[in-house]
């Protein structure tokens, strides 16, 4: 699996596993655990979750999947904005750690910007780093104006990533956010890279997938991964989908393929509000 460097220099997998909607049904738990473990076996060692997902249920699924395998995973979770005060972020992290059955997170993200001052959140993150509860911290769903505010906050430039919605149908971040982060050596994590399996009917995606002997979802995922500064986080709960995602990481799109996608899904022609789901 291809790797990408965090600002610290540490290398992480460029294709990771998402867990949105996991942990919502006890009936699905065994399959979800197996899917995550299979993904680890296939090199998708970055696992992303959040206290919001199934109100902690997804973190419990991840904790079970990582039992005896914690050292082989790069574990990411996210804090609710209303928990992101200096004290609240510490308490929320400790609750996540209990659900995940681990003593540390590799990366802890502010899920989106809320009412608490960024300075308070950063101080909470710094305390967690100092206490060994997290190794790095970052943000999610912050646009350039928010990132600029963060960078002017004491300690804010230690941010390791920004996780945003990005796929062929949601290209607004190409206007300025991707470049802003790249200039600071901050990788972007793309969530919903295949639009949660709801890609629109597209003759371009179908034609490209036919040429490569794959499907539209693999093409859409490979398209996100074409940018070397982007990490893609994709959720799958079935073995065949996990395996298909891993294969998509090896798919190389041609210049012709990319031109067809641009015609079908236009790059942004102006600044647009950050898409959030």
Model confidence over 11-25: pLDDT tens digits?
Answer: 999 999 999 999 999
Name the pTM for this structure: 0.96
Q: What token pair was written down for 190?
A: 């793309």
Q: In 3-state terms, the chain is what percent helix, strand and coil (to 5)?
A: 45, 15, 35
Q: Determine the average pLDDT of the residues in 180-190.
A: 98
In this predicted structure, the answer to whether residue 1 has a pLDDT above a threshold of 90 is no
Q: Considering the chain, what is the average pLDDT of its residues? A: 97
pLDDT of residue 277: 77
pLDDT digits (tens, 9 = 90+) for 151-178: 999 999 999 999 999 999 999 999 999 9
Inter-CA distances, 269 with 22, 172, 174, 204, Å: 36, 9, 10, 20
Q: At 202, is the pLDDT very low, low, confident or very high (cuts 50, 70, 90)?
A: confident
Output the DSSP codes for 40-107. HHTT--EEE--TTGGGGHHHHHHHHHTTTTGGG-EEEEEE-GGG-SHHHHHHHHHHHHHHHT-S-EEE
In this predicted structure, the answer to whether residue 198 has a pLDDT above a threshold of 90 is no
pLDDT of residue 121: 98
pLDDT of residue 196: 87
Q: Determine the average pLDDT of the residues in 246-267.
A: 96
Number of separate helices (H) and strands (E) present in the chain: 10, 10
Assess if CATH 3.40.50.300 describes domain 3-264. no
Instruction: List, in sequence order, the alpha helices (H) in 107-189.
Output: 118-130, 144-151, 177-183
Domain ranges of the chain: 3-264
pLDDT digits (tens, 9 = 90+) for 58-111: 999 999 999 999 999 999 999 999 999 999 999 999 999 999 999 999 999 999
d(CA 136, CA 159): 8
Q: Determine the average pLDDT of the residues in 130-150.
A: 98
Q: At 201, is the pLDDT very low, low, confident or very high (cuts 50, 70, 90)?
A: confident
């Amino acid at each position: 699996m291809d790797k990408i460097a965090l600002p610290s220099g540490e290398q992480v997998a460029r294709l990771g596993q998402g867990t949105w909607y996991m942990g919502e049904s006890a009936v699905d738990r065994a399959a979800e655990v197996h899917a995550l473990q299979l993904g680890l076996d296939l090199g998708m060692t970055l696992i992303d979750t959040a206290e919001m997902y199934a109100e902690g249920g997804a973190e419990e699924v991840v904790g079970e999947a990582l039992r005896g395998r914690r050292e082989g995973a790069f574990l990411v979770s996210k804090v609710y904005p209303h928990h992101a005060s200096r004290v609240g972020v510490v308490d929320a992290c400790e609750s996540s750690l209990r659900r995940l059955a681990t003593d540390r997170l590799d990366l802890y993200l502010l899920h989106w910007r809320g009412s608490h001052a960024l300075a308070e959140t950063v101080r909470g993150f710094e305390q967690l780093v100092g206490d060994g509860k997290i190794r790095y911290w970052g943000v999610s769903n912050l646009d350039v104006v928010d990132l600029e505010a963060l960078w002017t906050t004491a300690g804010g430039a230690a941010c390791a990533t920004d996780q945003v919605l990005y796929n062929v149908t949601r290209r607004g971040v190409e206007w300025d956010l991707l470049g802003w982060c790249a200039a600071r050596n901050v990788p972007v994590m793309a969530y919903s890279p295949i639009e949660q399996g709801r890609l629109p009917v597209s003759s371009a995606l179908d034609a490209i997938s036919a040429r490569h002997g794959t499907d539209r979802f693999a093409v859409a995922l490979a398209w996100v991964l074409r940018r070397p500064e982007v990490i893609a986080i994709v959720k799958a709960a079935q073995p065949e989908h996990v395996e298909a995602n891993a294969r998509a990481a090896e798919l190389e799109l041609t210049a012709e393929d990319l031109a067809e996608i641009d015609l079908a899904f236009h790059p942004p022609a102006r600044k647009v509000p950050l898409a959030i789901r």
